[in-house]
Amino acid sequence: MEVNNYKRMLRNAGLLYFRMLLTMVVTLYTSRVVLRTLGVDDFGIYHLVAGFITMLGFLQGAMSSATQRFLSFELGRSDKNNLTNLFSMSVNIHLLIAMIILIAGETAGIWFITTKLTIQPERIEAARWVFHLSLLAFLINVISAPYNALIIAHERMSIFAWVSLIDVSLKLSIVFMLAWFGIDRLILYAILMLVVVSIISLVYMVYCKSKFPESILKLYWDKSLFITMISYTGWNIWGNVAAVLGNQGINVMLNIFFGPAINAARTIAFQVSGALNSFVQNLQIAVNPQIIKSYASNNFTYMHQLICYGAKYNFCLLFFLSFPVLLKTREILELWLGNVPDYTAIFVQLVIINILIDSISSPLITAAQATGKIKVYQTVVGGILLLNLPISYFLLKINLDPRSVLFAGIFVSVLALTARLKILQTLIGLPLNLYLSVVIMRGSAVATASAIIILCLNFMPGEVFSSNTAVLITSPFCVLFCTVAFGLDKQERVFIAKKLKDLLSQLKSRILPSAG
């Protein structure tokens, strides 16, 4: 059974990687064109306003996590009747959340946008339109969240790969359409993004209706189920509020202290890190249902293995991708953007370091959600994440430069990781020595050895290994070598060698008959 689960996770991860590669390529290309088309200030305004809306989405984030957990849990128990009722209740609750966000956004949100943010007076009206349109797009995502959660719970990741083709095609069209119409390009960009969100959400809903019988909505209301889900969500809300404020709150704070240009630099940094981190997120999405289902079936040994090895693979994969970017950040940004806003390079490097720390926390977060006992977890971890705001405000208030808030974020992420480990030790009996040996020690060995090798190559006579091209080519191979040498144990190396041998045998058997 576990072998089949591993195969399913690998297949799903592969499909999600295909989706991610398409999305990443298009995002990197469109960001360059949109930045040039809108200009630095309008580009910063759009992502500032759209990002501010996500601050209103802490309810949706909390409820989406709850929905995925409960759906996966019921599938692990194979209870079809409860699954149908649960889905209907989750849709009803998401509709309620959408109404609350709409009211909050069109009152407090629009007041904050127009009175508190640093936006040029002549662009205030455009910012209003961006806010309204982005809020509507966000509400559509809120309502469609249960359908996405159902797809993930069933581990049908192929639909995400296919829909990504539609998504990237539409976003590529936006790039060219910005120059077609004679209206404000910032407003037009927000309109077109709303259209894309609407189409993609509709496709997911239609897919669920055709594939999953439990996705048929019915007039259903269960008070006890509502209380259970809201109680679970209530503690998730605190964690989501802390995470959102710790992220988007920093964006608003930077705008107040430094203006929209610094928001553009931070946005670019998070787009780069987001593209890299999407590899880890796709792997984690494939693993999450198995973590929850293993808890539902009381298979804790398997659950501990998924957490530790999932965290290690998250880190090694992310480090493999990000190491060249860390080494040649400025050169890559200049090649990509041409005109690089101030502070962008150092922002990219610090954000990557932060997501490397967070990458080994992802399985811990899922494991805590699986237990349903999240009161202590969300209280402690949420409180730690929220420290990012007062620390950053203090640093900016004493006139430190914008980089200081990124250093504060790294410090807070380390504290949060420590707290998660201690809490999971209590909740599921996670062996700390297993996590430290499999994740921390091996991950640190891979990173340290890779850095030493690159440093030694850089000091070799001549410029063979010090040029930009040489570093970008050799650094991934250094990480790959160090991962095999220091990141994997003997059993993992034997397993990979066997799989490679089988793959070569299959290729050989297909090539030789055709050659003959």
Name the one residue in this structure whose structure tokens are 């009996």. 429
- Residue 394, pLDDT score: 92
| pLDDT band at 449; cut points 50, 70, 90 | very high
User: How distant, in Å, are the alpha carbons of 56, 68, 88, 388 from that of 218?
Assistant: 28, 20, 6, 43
Condensed to tens digits (0 to 9), the pLDDT of residues 374-421 reads 788 888 888 888 888 889 889 988 988 888 988 998 999 999 999 999
Question: Is pLDDT above 90 for 442?
Answer: yes
Q: How far is Cα 358 from Cα 368, in angstroms, rounded to an integer?
A: 15
CB atoms within 10 A of CB 273: 24
Question: Is pLDDT above 80 for 33?
Answer: no
| pLDDT band at 516; cut points 50, 70, 90 | very low
The answer for residues whose C-beta is within 8 angstroms of residue 154's C-beta and 6 or more apart is 75, 211, 212
- Residue 465, pLDDT score: 57
- Residue 410, pLDDT score: 92
What mean pLDDT comes out for the span 424-448?
92
| pLDDT band at 15; cut points 50, 70, 90 | low
Of 58-62, 67-71, 398-402, the one with minimum mean pLDDT is: 58-62
| CA 145 to chain centroid | 15
Q: How far apart are the first and last CA of the chain?
A: 40
- Residue 513, pLDDT score: 54
Packing angle of the helix pair 300-327, 329-337 (nearest 10 deg)? 80
Q: How far is Cα 22 from Cα 167, in angstroms, rounded to an integer?
A: 9
pTM above 0.85, yes or no: no
- Residue 55, pLDDT score: 61
| CA 122 to chain centroid | 34
Question: Is pLDDT above 60 for 34?
Answer: yes
Better-predicted residue by pLDDT, 109 or 328: 328
- Residue 432, pLDDT score: 92
Condensed to tens digits (0 to 9), the pLDDT of residues 41-56 reads 777 777 677 766 666 6
The answer for residues whose C-beta is within 8 angstroms of residue 44's C-beta and 6 or more apart is 260, 261, 262, 263, 264, 267
- Residue 1, pLDDT score: 45
- Residue 424, pLDDT score: 92
Q: CB of 479 within 8 A of CB of 446?
A: yes
Condensed to tens digits (0 to 9), the pLDDT of residues 125-139 reads 777 888 888 888 888
Residue type, 311: A
